[in-house]
Amino acid sequence: MAVNEIKPHVEDILDILGDESKVSSKEIEQELKKFLEYGVPIEQAKQTLIKKYGGSVPFTASSSERTLISDLQPNTQSVNLIAQVITLNPKEISVKGETRQIYYGIIGDESGTIPFTAWKELDVKKGDVVEISNAYTREWQGTVQLNFGDRTATKKTDEGKLPKNAFEPREHKINDLKSGLGVVEVTAKIIELDKKDTEIDGVKKKIFSGIIGDETGKAQFTSWHDFKLKKGDVVNISGGYVKTWKGIPQLTFDEKAKVKKLDSKTLDVEKIQTQFMPIDTLLEKRGALDIETEGTVVDIRPNSGLVLRCPECDRVIQNNECKTHGTVEGKPDLRMKLVVDDGNGSVQVNVGKEITEKLLGKTLSEWQKIVESSGDESPIVNEMNNVLFARRVKLKGNALGDSFGTTVIAQDVSIIEVDMENETEAFNQKMGEEQ
- Mask of contacts with other proteins, 361-390, x by CB under 8 A? ------------------------x---xx
CB half-sphere exposure, 381, CA atoms < 13 A? 8
Cα–Cα separations (whole angstroms), residue 394 to 297, 355, 415: 10, 12, 6
Q: Is 391 in the site for other proteins (CB under 8 A)?
A: yes
CB-nearer residue toward other proteins: 318 or 365 = 318
Calculate the CA 219 to chain-centre distance: 12
A 10 A CB-CB count for 19 gives 6
Looking at beta carbons only, is 56 or 99 nearer to other proteins? 99
Burial class (CB in 10 A: 0-12, 13-18, 19+), 86: buried
Select 8 or 343, whichever has its Cβ closest to other proteins: 343
Tell me the window of 6-14, 15-23, 207-215, 338-346 that interacts with other proteins (CB under 8 A): 338-346
The answer to whether the CB of 42 falls within 8 A of the CB of 72 is: no
Q: Between residues 104 and 427, which has the closer beta carbon with respect to other proteins?
A: 427
d(CA 170, CA 188): 15
Strand partners, 184: 170, 240
Contact between 431 and other proteins (CB under 8 A)?
A: yes
Residue 207 to residue 1: CA distance in whole angstroms: 48
**Closest C-alpha among 389, 391, 385 to residue 295:** 391
Among 344, 374, 378, 414, binds other proteins (CB under 8 A): 344
Contacts to other proteins from residues 74-113, by CB under 8 A: 96
245 is an interface residue for other proteins by CB under 8 A: no
Name residues whose C-beta falls within 8 Å of residue 74's C-beta, 6 or more positions apart in sequence.
137, 138, 139, 144, 145
Question: Can residue 294 be called a binding residue for other proteins (CB under 8 A)?
Answer: no
Told to check if 302 binds other proteins by CB under 8 A, we report yes
Q: What is the number of other CB atoms lying within 10 angstroms of the CB of residue 108? A: 23
Q: Does 433 bind other proteins (CB under 8 A)?
A: no
Selection from 101, 131, 133, 130 nearest residue 118 by Cα: 101
Residue 73 interacting with other proteins (CB under 8 A): no
Among 158, 197, 421, 433, binds other proteins (CB under 8 A): 421
Candidate list 323, 325, 331, 369; residue touching other proteins; CB under 8 A: 323
| H-only helix segments in 183-231 | none
Q: Shortest CA distance to 360 belongs to which of 408, 305, 405, 291?
A: 305
Cβ atoms 27, 17 nearer than 8 A = no
- Residue 48 interacts with other proteins (CB under 8 A)? no
Q: Is 427 in the site for other proteins (CB under 8 A)?
A: yes
Minimum separation from the CB atom of position 220 to other proteins (A):
22
In the set 350, 363, 368, 411, which binds other proteins (CB under 8 A)? 350
Among 75, 101, 143, 424, binds other proteins (CB under 8 A): 424
Size of the site for other proteins (CB under 8 A): 47
The binder of other proteins chosen from 75, 165, 378, 428 (CB under 8 A):
428
CA dist 320 and 310 (Å) reads 8
Among 328, 339, 370, 371, binds other proteins (CB under 8 A): 339
Which listed residue (8, 163, 332, 343) binds other proteins by CB under 8 A? 343
- Smallest separation, CB 288 to other proteins (Å): 15
Rounded Cα distance, 390 and 386, in Å? 9
Minimum CB distance to other proteins, residue 207 (Å) = 26
* 423 near other proteins, judged by CB under 8 A: yes
Q: Which stretch binds other proteins (CB under 8 A): 23-31, 118-126, 353-361, 422-430?
A: 422-430
Residue 72's φ and ψ, nearest 5 degrees, are: -65, 135
> Which residues would be at the binding site for other proteins (CB under 8 A)?
38-39, 96, 142, 280, 283-284, 296, 298-303, 315-316, 323, 337, 339, 341-348, 350, 385, 389-392, 403-407, 418, 420-421, 423-425, 427-428, 431
